[in-house]
Amino acid sequence: MGTCSEALLSRPERAQALSGRSASRLLTGASMLGADMLAVTAAGWMAALAWSRVNTAVEPSTYIRLWPAALLFAAAYAVLGLYPGVGLSPVEELRRLVLGATLVCLAGSAFNFLSRDTTFSRGVLLAAWGFTATLAPLCRSLVKRACRGRSWWGVPVLVLGAGQAARRIAAGLLAQPALGLKPVAMLEDGSDWEGDAGIPLAGPLADAAELGGRLGVRHALVAMPELRREELLRLLERLSAAFSHVIVIPDLLGMASLWVSPRDLGGELGLEVRQNLLSPVNRRLKRGLDLVIAGLGVLAAAPLVALAAAWIKLADPGPVFFHQERGGEGGRTIRVWKLRTMFQDAEAQLRRHLASDPAAREEWRRRFKLRHDPRVLPAIGAFLRRTSLDEIPQLWNVIRGEMSLVGPRPFPHYHLARFDGEFLKLRARVPPGLTGLWQVSARGESGLRMQQALDAYYIRNWSLWLDVYILARTVCAVALGRGAY
Protein backbone atom coordinates (compact mmCIF):
# COMPACT_ATOMS: atom_id res chain seq x y z
CA MET A 1 0.00 0.00 0.00
CA GLY A 2 2.81 2.40 0.84
CA THR A 3 4.30 1.80 -2.59
CA CYS A 4 1.00 2.63 -4.29
CA SER A 5 0.43 5.87 -2.42
CA GLU A 6 4.00 7.04 -2.87
CA ALA A 7 3.77 6.28 -6.58
CA LEU A 8 0.70 8.45 -6.74
CA LEU A 9 2.39 11.25 -4.85
CA SER A 10 5.45 11.12 -7.09
CA ARG A 11 3.56 11.60 -10.36
CA PRO A 12 4.44 15.09 -11.70
CA GLU A 13 1.00 15.66 -13.21
CA ARG A 14 -0.67 15.10 -9.78
CA ALA A 15 1.93 16.59 -7.47
CA GLN A 16 0.53 20.09 -7.26
CA ALA A 17 -3.11 18.96 -7.18
CA LEU A 18 -2.51 16.54 -4.30
CA SER A 19 0.12 18.47 -2.31
CA GLY A 20 -2.48 20.19 -0.16
CA ARG A 21 -6.22 19.80 0.07
CA SER A 22 -6.64 23.33 1.41
CA ALA A 23 -4.75 24.86 -1.53
CA SER A 24 -7.01 23.23 -4.11
CA ARG A 25 -10.18 24.24 -2.30
CA LEU A 26 -8.95 27.77 -1.68
CA LEU A 27 -7.81 28.35 -5.25
CA THR A 28 -11.00 26.89 -6.69
CA GLY A 29 -13.15 28.89 -4.30
CA ALA A 30 -11.13 32.05 -4.97
CA SER A 31 -11.62 31.61 -8.71
CA MET A 32 -15.38 31.37 -8.26
CA LEU A 33 -15.38 34.31 -5.85
CA GLY A 34 -13.44 36.40 -8.37
CA ALA A 35 -15.91 35.49 -11.10
CA ASP A 36 -18.84 36.44 -8.87
CA MET A 37 -17.31 39.78 -7.81
CA LEU A 38 -16.62 40.67 -11.43
CA ALA A 39 -20.19 39.75 -12.40
CA VAL A 40 -21.83 41.61 -9.52
CA THR A 41 -19.73 44.76 -10.00
CA ALA A 42 -20.37 44.80 -13.75
CA ALA A 43 -24.08 44.11 -13.18
CA GLY A 44 -24.40 47.05 -10.76
CA TRP A 45 -22.70 49.46 -13.12
CA MET A 46 -24.68 48.26 -16.13
CA ALA A 47 -27.93 48.56 -14.14
CA ALA A 48 -27.18 52.16 -13.19
CA LEU A 49 -26.26 53.07 -16.77
CA ALA A 50 -29.32 51.33 -18.23
CA TRP A 51 -31.79 52.84 -15.76
CA SER A 52 -30.31 56.32 -16.22
CA ARG A 53 -31.62 56.13 -19.79
CA VAL A 54 -35.11 55.45 -18.41
CA ASN A 55 -34.97 57.88 -15.49
CA THR A 56 -32.72 60.87 -16.19
CA ALA A 57 -32.66 61.69 -12.46
CA VAL A 58 -30.48 58.62 -11.88
CA GLU A 59 -26.78 59.50 -11.75
CA PRO A 60 -24.64 56.34 -12.30
CA SER A 61 -21.66 57.78 -10.38
CA THR A 62 -23.81 57.90 -7.24
CA TYR A 63 -23.91 54.13 -7.15
CA ILE A 64 -20.14 53.67 -7.06
CA ARG A 65 -20.21 54.03 -3.28
CA LEU A 66 -22.42 50.95 -3.07
CA TRP A 67 -19.49 48.68 -4.00
CA PRO A 68 -19.47 47.04 -0.52
CA ALA A 69 -22.87 45.55 -1.46
CA ALA A 70 -20.93 43.08 -3.61
CA LEU A 71 -19.79 41.46 -0.36
CA LEU A 72 -23.43 40.74 0.48
CA PHE A 73 -23.73 38.73 -2.71
CA ALA A 74 -20.55 36.82 -1.82
CA ALA A 75 -21.94 36.09 1.65
CA ALA A 76 -25.26 34.86 0.23
CA TYR A 77 -23.48 32.64 -2.29
CA ALA A 78 -21.23 31.24 0.45
CA VAL A 79 -24.26 30.34 2.59
CA LEU A 80 -25.76 28.58 -0.44
CA GLY A 81 -22.64 26.40 -0.79
CA LEU A 82 -21.22 28.00 -3.93
CA TYR A 83 -17.63 28.19 -2.62
CA PRO A 84 -15.92 26.18 -3.89
CA GLY A 85 -19.17 24.71 -5.23
CA VAL A 86 -17.64 21.51 -6.59
CA GLY A 87 -19.96 18.71 -7.64
CA LEU A 88 -22.90 20.98 -8.42
CA SER A 89 -24.68 20.44 -11.71
CA PRO A 90 -24.92 23.57 -13.92
CA VAL A 91 -28.68 23.66 -13.35
CA GLU A 92 -28.36 23.54 -9.55
CA GLU A 93 -25.60 26.16 -9.66
CA LEU A 94 -27.85 28.42 -11.75
CA ARG A 95 -30.70 27.96 -9.26
CA ARG A 96 -28.50 28.90 -6.30
CA LEU A 97 -26.99 31.92 -8.07
CA VAL A 98 -30.42 33.32 -8.93
CA LEU A 99 -31.71 32.55 -5.44
CA GLY A 100 -28.75 34.35 -3.85
CA ALA A 101 -29.18 37.42 -6.07
CA THR A 102 -32.90 37.46 -5.30
CA LEU A 103 -32.35 37.34 -1.53
CA VAL A 104 -29.82 40.18 -1.59
CA CYS A 105 -31.98 42.38 -3.83
CA LEU A 106 -35.06 41.73 -1.69
CA ALA A 107 -33.05 42.68 1.39
CA GLY A 108 -31.96 45.88 -0.38
CA SER A 109 -35.56 46.71 -1.27
CA ALA A 110 -36.66 46.13 2.32
CA PHE A 111 -33.86 48.37 3.63
CA ASN A 112 -34.84 51.14 1.19
CA PHE A 113 -38.47 50.87 2.25
CA LEU A 114 -37.81 50.82 5.99
CA SER A 115 -35.21 53.61 5.92
CA ARG A 116 -37.31 55.71 3.55
CA ASP A 117 -34.13 56.51 1.64
CA THR A 118 -34.96 57.88 -1.81
CA THR A 119 -31.36 58.35 -2.89
CA PHE A 120 -31.20 55.03 -4.68
CA SER A 121 -33.73 54.00 -7.32
CA ARG A 122 -35.68 50.77 -6.95
CA GLY A 123 -35.50 50.51 -10.75
CA VAL A 124 -31.71 50.28 -10.55
CA LEU A 125 -32.06 47.55 -7.93
CA LEU A 126 -34.43 45.56 -10.14
CA ALA A 127 -32.14 45.97 -13.15
CA ALA A 128 -29.15 44.92 -11.03
CA TRP A 129 -30.98 41.72 -10.10
CA GLY A 130 -31.56 40.91 -13.76
CA PHE A 131 -27.99 41.64 -14.82
CA THR A 132 -26.55 39.71 -11.88
CA ALA A 133 -28.74 36.67 -12.53
CA THR A 134 -27.45 36.70 -16.13
CA LEU A 135 -23.79 37.63 -15.70
CA ALA A 136 -22.92 35.50 -12.65
CA PRO A 137 -23.56 32.13 -14.39
CA LEU A 138 -21.83 33.42 -17.53
CA CYS A 139 -18.70 34.59 -15.68
CA ARG A 140 -18.52 31.33 -13.72
CA SER A 141 -18.81 29.33 -16.92
CA LEU A 142 -15.97 31.29 -18.54
CA VAL A 143 -13.73 30.93 -15.48
CA LYS A 144 -14.39 27.20 -15.30
CA ARG A 145 -13.58 26.84 -18.98
CA ALA A 146 -10.27 28.66 -18.40
CA CYS A 147 -9.33 26.85 -15.18
CA ARG A 148 -10.63 23.31 -15.58
CA GLY A 149 -7.34 22.04 -17.03
CA ARG A 150 -5.23 23.44 -14.19
CA SER A 151 -3.71 21.01 -11.70
CA TRP A 152 -5.08 22.99 -8.76
CA TRP A 153 -8.66 23.14 -10.05
CA GLY A 154 -11.32 21.26 -8.09
CA VAL A 155 -10.84 18.83 -5.23
CA PRO A 156 -9.32 15.32 -5.33
CA VAL A 157 -11.66 12.41 -4.62
CA LEU A 158 -11.04 8.71 -3.90
CA VAL A 159 -13.35 6.29 -5.67
CA LEU A 160 -14.21 3.22 -3.60
CA GLY A 161 -15.02 0.47 -6.03
CA ALA A 162 -13.53 -0.64 -9.33
CA GLY A 163 -16.50 -2.32 -10.95
CA GLN A 164 -18.55 -1.17 -13.90
CA ALA A 165 -20.52 1.42 -11.91
CA ALA A 166 -17.38 2.93 -10.36
CA ARG A 167 -15.57 3.11 -13.67
CA ARG A 168 -18.58 4.73 -15.32
CA ILE A 169 -18.80 7.39 -12.59
CA ALA A 170 -15.05 8.04 -12.62
CA ALA A 171 -14.99 8.34 -16.40
CA GLY A 172 -17.89 10.79 -16.23
CA LEU A 173 -16.05 12.96 -13.70
CA LEU A 174 -12.91 12.97 -15.84
CA ALA A 175 -14.97 13.93 -18.88
CA GLN A 176 -16.57 16.84 -16.98
CA PRO A 177 -13.70 18.61 -15.18
CA ALA A 178 -15.85 21.70 -14.65
CA LEU A 179 -17.72 19.79 -11.91
CA GLY A 180 -14.54 20.02 -9.84
CA LEU A 181 -14.44 16.45 -8.50
CA LYS A 182 -11.14 14.92 -9.64
CA PRO A 183 -10.83 11.15 -9.11
CA VAL A 184 -7.20 10.37 -8.27
CA ALA A 185 -7.35 6.70 -7.28
CA MET A 186 -9.71 3.73 -6.99
CA LEU A 187 -9.75 1.12 -4.24
CA GLU A 188 -11.40 -2.30 -4.08
CA ASP A 189 -10.75 -5.67 -2.47
CA GLY A 190 -9.53 -8.51 -4.67
CA SER A 191 -9.94 -6.76 -8.02
CA ASP A 192 -7.86 -7.99 -10.95
CA TRP A 193 -8.32 -4.68 -12.75
CA GLU A 194 -5.13 -2.62 -12.78
CA GLY A 195 -6.61 0.77 -13.48
CA ASP A 196 -5.78 2.93 -16.46
CA ALA A 197 -3.76 6.00 -17.36
CA GLY A 198 -6.39 8.27 -15.86
CA ILE A 199 -7.06 6.61 -12.50
CA PRO A 200 -4.89 3.87 -10.93
CA LEU A 201 -6.14 1.07 -8.70
CA ALA A 202 -4.29 1.91 -5.46
CA GLY A 203 -5.18 -0.95 -3.14
CA PRO A 204 -7.88 -2.51 -0.95
CA LEU A 205 -10.74 -0.66 0.77
CA ALA A 206 -9.04 -0.92 4.15
CA ASP A 207 -6.35 1.50 2.97
CA ALA A 208 -8.80 4.29 2.12
CA ALA A 209 -8.28 6.29 5.33
CA GLU A 210 -4.48 6.06 5.18
CA LEU A 211 -4.31 6.93 1.49
CA GLY A 212 -6.75 9.80 1.93
CA GLY A 213 -4.66 11.21 4.75
CA ARG A 214 -1.40 10.93 2.82
CA LEU A 215 -2.86 12.56 -0.28
CA GLY A 216 -4.87 15.18 1.57
CA VAL A 217 -8.20 13.96 0.16
CA ARG A 218 -11.41 14.93 1.96
CA HIS A 219 -13.90 13.52 -0.55
CA ALA A 220 -14.73 9.85 -1.02
CA LEU A 221 -17.14 8.41 -3.54
CA VAL A 222 -18.61 4.96 -2.85
CA ALA A 223 -19.72 3.25 -6.06
CA MET A 224 -20.26 -0.36 -4.99
CA PRO A 225 -23.93 -1.21 -5.61
CA GLU A 226 -23.21 -4.89 -5.03
CA LEU A 227 -22.47 -4.37 -1.31
CA ARG A 228 -25.02 -5.68 1.16
CA ARG A 229 -26.63 -3.23 3.55
CA GLU A 230 -24.54 -4.32 6.55
CA GLU A 231 -21.29 -4.12 4.60
CA LEU A 232 -22.14 -0.67 3.26
CA LEU A 233 -22.99 0.65 6.74
CA ARG A 234 -19.70 -0.64 8.18
CA LEU A 235 -17.77 0.94 5.29
CA LEU A 236 -19.51 4.30 5.72
CA GLU A 237 -18.79 4.22 9.45
CA ARG A 238 -15.07 3.81 8.76
CA LEU A 239 -15.06 6.49 6.08
CA SER A 240 -16.87 9.05 8.24
CA ALA A 241 -13.84 9.20 10.54
CA ALA A 242 -11.44 10.02 7.69
CA PHE A 243 -13.42 11.95 5.04
CA SER A 244 -15.54 15.07 5.56
CA HIS A 245 -17.50 14.40 2.37
CA VAL A 246 -18.75 10.93 1.42
CA ILE A 247 -20.93 10.46 -1.66
CA VAL A 248 -22.79 7.15 -2.03
CA ILE A 249 -23.84 6.09 -5.53
CA PRO A 250 -26.95 3.84 -5.32
CA ASP A 251 -27.89 1.31 -7.97
CA LEU A 252 -30.62 3.50 -9.46
CA LEU A 253 -29.46 3.96 -13.05
CA GLY A 254 -32.19 5.59 -15.14
CA MET A 255 -33.92 7.32 -12.23
CA ALA A 256 -34.26 11.11 -11.92
CA SER A 257 -31.11 12.64 -10.43
CA LEU A 258 -31.55 16.43 -10.29
CA TRP A 259 -34.50 16.90 -7.97
CA VAL A 260 -34.18 14.00 -5.53
CA SER A 261 -34.44 14.97 -1.85
CA PRO A 262 -33.46 12.88 1.19
CA ARG A 263 -36.18 12.27 3.77
CA ASP A 264 -35.86 11.08 7.36
CA LEU A 265 -38.68 8.58 7.88
CA GLY A 266 -38.44 7.72 11.54
CA GLY A 267 -34.72 7.01 11.33
CA GLU A 268 -34.92 5.40 7.89
CA LEU A 269 -33.48 7.13 4.84
CA GLY A 270 -35.94 7.80 2.05
CA LEU A 271 -35.45 9.45 -1.33
CA GLU A 272 -38.27 11.65 -2.56
CA VAL A 273 -38.42 11.77 -6.37
CA ARG A 274 -40.55 14.65 -7.56
CA GLN A 275 -42.30 14.14 -10.90
CA ASN A 276 -42.39 17.82 -11.76
CA LEU A 277 -44.13 17.32 -15.08
CA LEU A 278 -47.14 15.80 -13.34
CA SER A 279 -47.79 19.00 -11.37
CA PRO A 280 -50.55 21.13 -12.97
CA VAL A 281 -48.91 24.26 -11.57
CA ASN A 282 -45.58 23.41 -13.18
CA ARG A 283 -47.25 22.65 -16.49
CA ARG A 284 -49.00 26.03 -16.42
CA LEU A 285 -45.73 27.80 -15.56
CA LYS A 286 -44.01 26.07 -18.46
CA ARG A 287 -46.87 27.01 -20.78
CA GLY A 288 -46.74 30.63 -19.59
CA LEU A 289 -43.00 30.81 -20.27
CA ASP A 290 -43.61 29.37 -23.74
CA LEU A 291 -46.28 31.94 -24.61
CA VAL A 292 -44.31 34.96 -23.40
CA ILE A 293 -41.01 34.08 -25.10
CA ALA A 294 -42.59 32.69 -28.29
CA GLY A 295 -44.85 35.73 -28.65
CA LEU A 296 -41.94 38.14 -28.30
CA GLY A 297 -39.86 35.94 -30.59
CA VAL A 298 -42.45 36.03 -33.39
CA LEU A 299 -42.51 39.84 -33.30
CA ALA A 300 -38.72 40.18 -33.19
CA ALA A 301 -38.08 37.60 -35.92
CA ALA A 302 -40.63 38.89 -38.45
CA PRO A 303 -38.14 41.12 -40.40
CA LEU A 304 -35.56 38.31 -40.45
CA VAL A 305 -38.10 35.82 -41.77
CA ALA A 306 -39.12 38.25 -44.52
CA LEU A 307 -35.48 38.69 -45.60
CA ALA A 308 -34.85 34.93 -45.54
CA ALA A 309 -38.02 34.31 -47.55
CA ALA A 310 -36.85 36.65 -50.33
CA TRP A 311 -33.44 34.94 -50.45
CA ILE A 312 -35.04 31.47 -50.62
CA LYS A 313 -37.20 32.57 -53.54
CA LEU A 314 -34.12 33.79 -55.39
CA ALA A 315 -32.23 30.54 -54.75
CA ASP A 316 -35.06 28.18 -55.77
CA PRO A 317 -38.53 29.46 -56.78
CA GLY A 318 -41.26 27.75 -54.84
CA PRO A 319 -42.86 27.84 -51.40
CA VAL A 320 -40.88 29.59 -48.64
CA PHE A 321 -42.22 27.37 -45.86
CA PHE A 322 -42.57 23.63 -45.70
CA HIS A 323 -44.11 21.35 -43.12
CA GLN A 324 -43.45 17.81 -41.98
CA GLU A 325 -45.55 15.34 -40.03
CA ARG A 326 -43.82 14.54 -36.74
CA GLY A 327 -44.58 12.83 -33.45
CA GLY A 328 -46.09 15.00 -30.72
CA GLU A 329 -47.29 14.71 -27.13
CA GLY A 330 -49.40 11.64 -26.41
CA GLY A 331 -48.27 10.02 -29.65
CA ARG A 332 -50.30 12.46 -31.75
CA THR A 333 -49.04 13.59 -35.13
CA ILE A 334 -48.34 17.31 -35.45
CA ARG A 335 -47.46 19.47 -38.45
CA VAL A 336 -44.10 21.16 -37.81
CA TRP A 337 -43.26 24.26 -39.85
CA LYS A 338 -39.83 25.38 -41.04
CA LEU A 339 -38.26 27.76 -43.52
CA ARG A 340 -37.35 25.78 -46.62
CA THR A 341 -33.61 25.09 -46.80
CA MET A 342 -33.65 22.39 -49.50
CA PHE A 343 -34.51 22.09 -53.17
CA GLN A 344 -38.10 21.17 -53.96
CA ASP A 345 -37.04 17.74 -55.26
CA ALA A 346 -35.03 17.05 -52.10
CA GLU A 347 -36.39 13.52 -51.52
CA ALA A 348 -35.52 12.39 -55.05
CA GLN A 349 -32.03 13.86 -54.65
CA LEU A 350 -31.60 12.03 -51.35
CA ARG A 351 -32.57 8.67 -52.85
CA ARG A 352 -30.13 9.11 -55.73
CA HIS A 353 -27.31 10.21 -53.41
CA LEU A 354 -27.76 7.33 -50.95
CA ALA A 355 -27.97 4.81 -53.79
CA SER A 356 -24.63 5.95 -55.19
CA ASP A 357 -22.66 6.58 -51.95
CA PRO A 358 -22.24 3.74 -49.37
CA ALA A 359 -20.57 6.06 -46.83
CA ALA A 360 -23.51 8.45 -47.02
CA ARG A 361 -25.93 5.52 -46.58
CA GLU A 362 -24.15 4.50 -43.35
CA GLU A 363 -24.10 8.10 -42.06
CA TRP A 364 -27.83 8.41 -42.78
CA ARG A 365 -28.56 5.09 -41.06
CA ARG A 366 -26.78 6.20 -37.88
CA ARG A 367 -27.89 9.83 -37.64
CA PHE A 368 -30.59 10.53 -40.24
CA LYS A 369 -28.37 13.48 -41.19
CA LEU A 370 -25.69 14.10 -43.80
CA ARG A 371 -22.74 16.41 -43.17
CA HIS A 372 -22.48 17.12 -46.92
CA ASP A 373 -26.12 17.11 -47.98
CA PRO A 374 -26.71 17.72 -51.72
CA ARG A 375 -30.32 18.71 -51.04
CA VAL A 376 -29.43 21.94 -49.21
CA LEU A 377 -29.90 25.25 -51.03
CA PRO A 378 -26.60 27.04 -51.70
CA ALA A 379 -25.65 29.82 -49.25
CA ILE A 380 -29.05 30.57 -47.67
CA GLY A 381 -29.89 26.94 -46.91
CA ALA A 382 -26.55 26.26 -45.25
CA PHE A 383 -26.75 29.53 -43.29
CA LEU A 384 -30.24 28.88 -41.98
CA ARG A 385 -29.40 25.32 -40.95
CA ARG A 386 -26.08 26.22 -39.32
CA THR A 387 -27.72 28.95 -37.22
CA SER A 388 -30.98 26.96 -36.74
CA LEU A 389 -32.90 30.02 -37.93
CA ASP A 390 -34.87 27.75 -40.27
CA GLU A 391 -36.81 26.64 -37.19
CA ILE A 392 -38.19 30.10 -36.34
CA PRO A 393 -41.64 29.24 -37.78
CA GLN A 394 -41.95 26.59 -35.08
CA LEU A 395 -42.63 29.45 -32.66
CA TRP A 396 -46.14 29.26 -34.16
CA ASN A 397 -46.30 25.60 -33.12
CA VAL A 398 -45.31 26.71 -29.62
CA ILE A 399 -48.02 29.37 -29.48
CA ARG A 400 -50.60 26.80 -30.65
CA GLY A 401 -49.57 24.50 -27.82
CA GLU A 402 -48.36 21.70 -30.11
CA MET A 403 -44.77 22.23 -29.02
CA SER A 404 -42.84 23.77 -26.14
CA LEU A 405 -39.76 25.96 -26.25
CA VAL A 406 -37.79 23.17 -24.57
CA GLY A 407 -38.40 19.45 -24.90
CA PRO A 408 -37.42 16.35 -26.88
CA ARG A 409 -36.91 16.98 -30.57
CA PRO A 410 -40.07 16.35 -32.67
CA PHE A 411 -38.61 13.64 -34.90
CA PRO A 412 -40.27 12.29 -38.05
CA HIS A 413 -42.01 8.94 -37.64
CA TYR A 414 -39.30 7.05 -39.54
CA HIS A 415 -36.80 8.37 -36.96
CA LEU A 416 -39.00 7.53 -33.98
CA ALA A 417 -39.40 3.98 -35.25
CA ARG A 418 -35.73 3.36 -34.41
CA PHE A 419 -36.25 3.98 -30.66
CA ASP A 420 -37.42 1.31 -28.23
CA GLY A 421 -41.03 1.17 -27.04
CA GLU A 422 -40.38 2.19 -23.42
CA PHE A 423 -38.55 5.32 -24.48
CA LEU A 424 -41.36 6.24 -26.89
CA LYS A 425 -43.85 6.03 -24.01
CA LEU A 426 -41.60 8.32 -21.97
CA ARG A 427 -41.33 10.83 -24.84
CA ALA A 428 -45.09 10.87 -25.30
CA ARG A 429 -45.54 12.30 -21.77
CA VAL A 430 -44.26 15.74 -22.80
CA PRO A 431 -44.68 18.07 -25.78
CA PRO A 432 -41.73 18.14 -28.20
CA GLY A 433 -39.46 21.16 -28.04
CA LEU A 434 -38.03 23.82 -30.32
CA THR A 435 -34.75 23.22 -28.50
CA GLY A 436 -33.65 20.63 -25.99
CA LEU A 437 -30.82 19.07 -24.03
CA TRP A 438 -29.73 16.95 -27.00
CA GLN A 439 -29.53 19.98 -29.30
CA VAL A 440 -27.34 22.03 -26.94
CA SER A 441 -25.17 19.10 -25.83
CA ALA A 442 -24.49 17.14 -29.00
CA ARG A 443 -26.79 18.24 -31.85
CA GLY A 444 -25.80 16.62 -35.14
CA GLU A 445 -22.68 14.99 -33.67
CA SER A 446 -24.49 12.17 -31.85
CA GLY A 447 -26.28 8.97 -32.73
CA LEU A 448 -29.60 7.50 -31.65
CA ARG A 449 -28.33 6.20 -28.31
CA MET A 450 -27.11 9.64 -27.23
CA GLN A 451 -30.37 11.26 -28.40
CA GLN A 452 -32.36 8.78 -26.33
CA ALA A 453 -30.18 9.20 -23.24
CA LEU A 454 -30.30 13.00 -23.25
CA ASP A 455 -34.04 13.22 -23.96
CA ALA A 456 -34.75 10.67 -21.21
CA TYR A 457 -32.61 12.67 -18.77
CA TYR A 458 -34.53 15.84 -19.58
CA ILE A 459 -37.95 14.27 -19.11
CA ARG A 460 -37.04 12.61 -15.80
CA ASN A 461 -35.35 15.71 -14.38
CA TRP A 462 -37.55 18.47 -15.79
CA SER A 463 -37.88 21.79 -13.99
CA LEU A 464 -38.15 25.43 -15.02
CA TRP A 465 -34.50 25.82 -13.96
CA LEU A 466 -33.51 23.13 -16.43
CA ASP A 467 -35.54 24.88 -19.15
CA VAL A 468 -33.84 28.22 -18.40
CA TYR A 469 -30.42 26.53 -18.48
CA ILE A 470 -31.14 24.89 -21.85
CA LEU A 471 -32.48 28.14 -23.33
CA ALA A 472 -29.27 29.91 -22.28
CA ARG A 473 -27.16 27.11 -23.75
CA THR A 474 -29.21 27.32 -26.95
CA VAL A 475 -28.10 30.90 -27.52
CA CYS A 476 -24.45 29.78 -27.34
CA ALA A 477 -25.00 26.71 -29.53
CA VAL A 478 -26.79 28.74 -32.21
CA ALA A 479 -24.18 31.51 -32.12
CA LEU A 480 -21.37 28.99 -32.60
CA GLY A 481 -23.30 26.86 -35.09
CA ARG A 482 -21.91 23.79 -33.32
CA GLY A 483 -23.11 20.45 -34.59
CA ALA A 484 -25.69 21.88 -36.98
CA TYR A 485 -25.63 20.99 -40.68
- Give the pLDDT confidence score for residue 24 in this predicted structure: 79
Answer whether residue 287 shows pLDDT above 50.
yes
Q: Quote the percentage of the chain above a pLDDT of 90.
A: 36
- Please state the CATH superfamily assignment of the domain spanning residues 154-251 in this structure: NAD(P)-binding Rossmann-like Domain (3.40.50.720)
Torsion, CA 160, CA 162, CA 164, CA 165, rounded to 10: 10
Which residue ranges make up each domain of the chain?
21-147, 154-251, 280-341+376-480
Worst-scoring range by mean pLDDT, 83-92, 143-152, 283-292, 443-452?
443-452
The residues that bridge with 342 in the sheet, in sequence order, are: 376
**Distance between CA 113 and CA 250 in Å, rounded?**
49
Question: Is the pTM for the entire model greater than 0.85?
Answer: no
* H or E stretch covering 6: helix 2-10
In tens, the pLDDT along 121-179 reads 888 889 999 999 999 999 999 999 999 888 889 999 999 988 888 888 888 898 889 89
In tens, the pLDDT along 71-82 reads 999 999 999 999
- Give the pLDDT confidence score for residue 118 in this predicted structure: 65
- Give the pLDDT confidence score for residue 17 in this predicted structure: 40
Instruction: Compute the average pLDDT of residues 93-106.
Output: 94
In tens, the pLDDT along 421-458 reads 888 988 888 999 999 998 888 665 567 888 888 888 89
- Give the pLDDT confidence score for residue 123 in this predicted structure: 87
Q: Where is pLDDT greater, at 407 or 448?
A: 407
**Distance between CA 100 and CA 132 in Å, rounded?**
10
In tens, the pLDDT along 309-328 reads 999 999 888 899 988 899 99
